[in-house]
Structure formats: C-alpha cells, structure tokens
Amino acid sequence: MSDYKKIKNKYLDKLNSNLKIEELNNIKTELFGKNGLISNSFKNLGQLKPDERKKHASDLNSIKEELQDKINAKFQQIEAEEINSKLKDEKIDITLPERDISQGKIHPVSQVIDEISSIFSEIGFSVEEGPDVENENYNFTALNTPENHPARDMHDTFYLDNDKKTLLRTHTSPVQVRTMLKGKPPFKIIAPGRTYRSDSDQTHSPMFHQVEGLYIDKDITMGHLKGCLNYFIKSFFEVDKIKMRFRPSHFPFTEPSAEVDIGYEMKDGKIIIGEGDKWLEILGCGMVHPNVLKNVNVNSDKYQGYAFGIGIDRLGMLKYGINDLRAFFETDYRWLNHFGFDPLDVPSNYRGLSR
Ligand code: PHE
C-alpha cells in the first residue's frame, strides 16, 4: 500500500470514531497544518521525477479532498450533537405554574410620616433626624428637665446602663438640642422618628412615633404656633375647618406650655374631625424655655420661638380608622395588606416629597 493510502486509512478510521471538537481540530492540524502530513507530501512532490510527480499529485489531491470532506462532515455532526444535547438539557417546562409576585405595602406609619413631612415642607420646615439611642443630657438635662423629674423615672424610661447616662429617647425633643447646637438661628425644622417609653395598652406601645417641630427666630410668638398647627391639622385631615383647643400644661422645656385637643364626633362608627363636642389630645407644645436656649448657646434676649411634639401613630389611627395602636407593630401581613398603602398610589394631600 502506498504511503498516501496508509495515511488515508489511518485518518479515516480516526475520523469515524467518537471525537470531541478539540480532537477534530488536532486531526485537522496534523494533516493540513503547516507541517501537516498532507502539506508536507505536497512539498515533497518537487523532488520526484516529472512522470511520477503527476501520478502522485493526482493521488494526493484525491486523498486530500476525501479527508477534507470527511473532516467538514465531522464538524457538522459534532455541532448538531451539541445543539441537540443542549435542547434536551435546557428544556423549558411550560406546564410549571408561575411564581407568586408579592407586592409590598407602605406601612401606615411611613405613609403618615411622609404626609406630615410634605405638609410642613410647604411652609418652610426642613427635616432633621436624631438617634434612637440618646444620652441623658440631650434627652433631659439640656431640655431643662431636673434631676428629680418623674419622666426620668425607671418606670417610664428605658435606660441602657446602670449610671442612667444612655437611654432610648423618650421623645423627639433631643433633636431640638442637636439641631441648635450644630447651627445658628433661625431654626425651622421638624424631626420625625421613633420614641420609647415603658408603657403598653390599647393606646400606648413601648415604641411609638413622634414628630418634633421647632421654629426659632427673632419675633416668633404663640400666635404663629397656633396658626401653624391650625394649618397643619386642616391639611392633614383634609378638612376646611377644625375645632382646636389649647389647654394650659407643663413641660420643663417650654414656657408657657400647652396641650392641644382637636374636636370630633362619631357618626355611624366613624370619627368626623372638626365637628361635634368630643375632644382628643394630639400634641404638646409651647414657647421654648430660655434655659433651653441658654444650654444650646442661643441668645434668648434676641431669639425666641415655639416647639411642638405630635404623636404620629395617633394621627394615623384617627385619619385611617385604625383602633388598636399595638397592631401597628405586630408585623401581621394580613393587617398590613389591609391598612397598608400601595406604593404607586399618590395620596391626595401628598405634595411630592421623595421617600
Ligand atoms: N416632648 C413632649 C412629649 O413628648 C412634647 C413637646 C414637644 C412639648 C415640644 C412641648 C414642646 O410629651
């Protein structure tokens, strides 16, 4: 058998076996690469006598064509096999039921905080924040709250150390102190956030929410305070008129101090704000005590103003007809689905503050 035939038979055998794509590439190089068997045989033709050369050249050409065809066919075969096995492995089971898409809801407290922030931002209040873990000074002392004040009692305050130096803030008022210490008057801010007291029943939860308000400038009076709260309550409850009453009260950090009630009545089991002869307390407020201003280096001969602290959860309960405060914090999905807000729904009094 001629050398050509031997090459041909040997490689046809190889090409008929099971090959991977790399092995096929190697065979191609062995035969037709720069130093491949077929390539070299063509080079060697030149050394033969002319009559022999012709015969060899024709033999070699036909072997070359045969092997090339075989290699091409093999390439196609391997590719087809790969596609088929992929189709088998990656088969999509269209009978599978689709996965549940669960859309979240906005918690009523977040919703109410957004509404409050947007209403106050319309009349020039900016939003400040303070930490939940507060020090005794910012929560009490700087706010003119004496050593023996009942609010400092262990029964009311969650202390985080034995020295009673660190605590969970009992109100958002420490943000007044933080804001005034870091800036210069005038100040016009609200500060919504979590607050903590050792209390739990249908209308009290150990963790609840307040929004603090503070407006300090050269000639701010109690009249401004009344106007501001009146505007806020009307906007929040989306009513044209409300009944509001200021009751004298006491807070160590304001003088004079007042608690504010709004008038309401019950109609068909629903609360109607602004009518009737029932009263509901919703906030504490007053003119910032000169001692507080002194503690934060604000000259109380030049500057004065008001502060207020509103219970956020209670406002939400009233506006959205929720009657148990504790349900707010029980993370019951059924409750949240019922009382929560669609993230894509824009409430009518929402004026575009980004969350
Ligand atoms: N911090 C008071 C409270 O929690 C509310 C308040 C704030 C009163 C600001 C007066 C001024 O009850």
Q: What is the pLDDT of residues 45-85, one digit of tens each?
A: 888 888 888 888 888 889 989 989 999 999 999 899 889 88
Q: Token match 């050509």: residue?
A: 4
pLDDT of residue 1: 55
**Dihedral (Cα; 113, 144, 206, 334), 10-degree rounding:** 0
Q: Which residues of the chain have pLDDT under 70?
A: 1, 154-155, 346-355
Element housing 296 (H / E): none
Please give the pLDDT value at position 103.
79
Q: What is the pLDDT of residues 122-142, one digit of tens each?
A: 999 999 999 999 999 999 999
Of ligand 1's listed atoms, the one at least distance from the Cα of 288 is: 11
Q: What is the pLDDT of residue 88?
A: 86
| pLDDT value of residue 354 | 44
Pocket of ligand 1 (CB under 6 A): 171, 173, 251, 254, 284-286, 307-309
Rounded distance between C-alpha atoms, residue 331 and residue 328, angstroms: 7
What is residue 146's three-state secondary structure?
Answer: coil
pLDDT of residue 266: 85
Task: Report the C-alpha gap between 203 and 26 in whole angstroms.
Answer: 82
Q: Which residues share a beta bridge with 247?
A: 259
Pocket test for ligand 1, best of 149, 171, 196, 291 (most atoms within 8 A of CB): 171
Residue whose CB lies within 8 A of the most ligand 1 atoms, among 149, 173, 177, 207, for a mutation test: 173
CB 133 within 8 A of CB 166: yes
Closest Cα to atom 2, ligand 1: which residue? Answer: 309
